Structure 1
């Protein structure tokens, strides 16, 4: 499955509901690009809207006008990253063919590749910086939580789409839909510490297991 990185999606309104002119849209895009870069760098500094504003060379007031608060900023980052990945655009998804194993392998490879990109690292840094408690996360970061769910769902729908023309048990497909992201993240967490050959074997083993289960 080819990884498609689309261009930025245009936004015409600020968080305050005012229409953005060309300069305002450019400022918004610069803030998003800087925020993604800060997250991807994973420097260990706390996730901070002030940090993003400073790095972008704008005031906190400008960032607040664009996104409202840090919850609005992180939500906009996730929407931007979903759009860039192309995972939320079924009209550009490729037509799938081949065996179950080939299709599962393509999807696992696609998600694995995304995790290794700056965009993928940004999402993982953001995930790690959110509260672990679901109730707290939904209370403090409701927009971000919704956008994160949308980001995840886009890839999972792509997985279902890749198998849609095959006669498979829908319950089994759903279970694998839920398994794949945490399984790949678990393998990805070993990327820096485990020999590459072992990591590759783990990915191949995941594909074999999913294929056997679906068959």
Structure 2
């Protein structure tokens, strides 16, 4: 886990002992589970504390406030995704289309995991206005940017040996996550065949653009 070392500190700057580290990890696991459910008040710190069987004071000691909790959750999720561990990334050797297909499939799969659903719930629960989000949740906004940047670097890595136009690669990096989220949102309204066709159309269009 991202936060499992013996030098970990609480929000107050005190060094956590083994029990403190275990409590912190339990709170992170419970917070992710609450977010993944996406029901009720998913972004309630009190709900997380109750579900973890601790007091609000314990949560506050560990993370400081709601902003600190969600920032820590995003750091944990970034670590779990493996996107921030280049040494563990696979080697890519296929065509442009094959590599784009792998990345699209990877994001699609992640969206359906508890971790992926947790990120989407958290994203939807934050203020939509950028200035308000940065003011109210500065740590969370920074951690969300780090989560997304890790995946952008993973996409760059998948194409790095193909000597493609860097401007085109950057545009596609910015396009794929929201495009996949949009298709994912259509699952409730469209047939499985239509959704699959939309994904394949996206892959075909991106591959043709990058050629």
TM-score bracket for this pair, using the shorter chain length? over 0.9
Which structure 2 residue ranges, 5 or more long, are not aligned?
Answer: none
TM-score (norm 1): 0.95
Alignment size in residue pairs: 209
RMSD: 1.0
* Inter-partner Cα distance in structure 2 for 1:167 and 1:81: 31
1:115 pairs with one of 111, 116, 120: 111
Q: Which runs of 4+ in 1 moved over 2 A?
A: none
Query: What residue number does 1:147 align with?
Result: 143
Unaligned runs of 5+ in 1: 1-6
**In structure 2, what is the equivalent of residue 3 of structure 1?**
none
Greater alpha carbon shift after TM alignment, 85-94 vs 39-48: 39-48
Structure 1 residue 131 corresponds to structure 2 residue 110: no
In structure 2, distance between residues paired with 1:178 and 1:118: 23
Secondary structure at the aligned position of 1:45 is classed as coil
Q: How does 1:166-205 map to 2 (within 5 A)?
A: 166-205=162-201
Q: Are 2:47 and 1:51 aligned?
A: yes
- The structure with the greater share of residues assigned to helix is 2
Equivalent residue, structure 2, for 1:35: 31
Please list the CA deviations of residues 146-177 of structure 1 after superposition, one character each: whole Å capped at 9, or x if unmatched: 00001111111100110000021010001001
C-alpha distance in structure 2 between counterparts of 1:165 and 1:107, whole Å: 16
Q: 1:102 to 1:164 in 2, by over 3 A?
A: same
Choose from 16, 19, 23 the match for 2:19.
Answer: 23
Q: Is residue 9–residue 83 contact of structure 1 (8 Å, CA) maintained in 2?
A: no
Separation of aligned partners in 2, 1:191 and 1:25: 39
Deviates more, 1:185-194 or 1:139-148: 185-194
Aligned to 1:64: 60
Shift of 1:48: 1.0
Q: When the two structures are superposed, what TM-score results if normalisation uses the length of structure 2? A: 0.97
1-structure distance, mates of 2:100, 2:42: 36
Aligned counterparts of 2:193 and 2:154: Cα–Cα separation in 1: 28
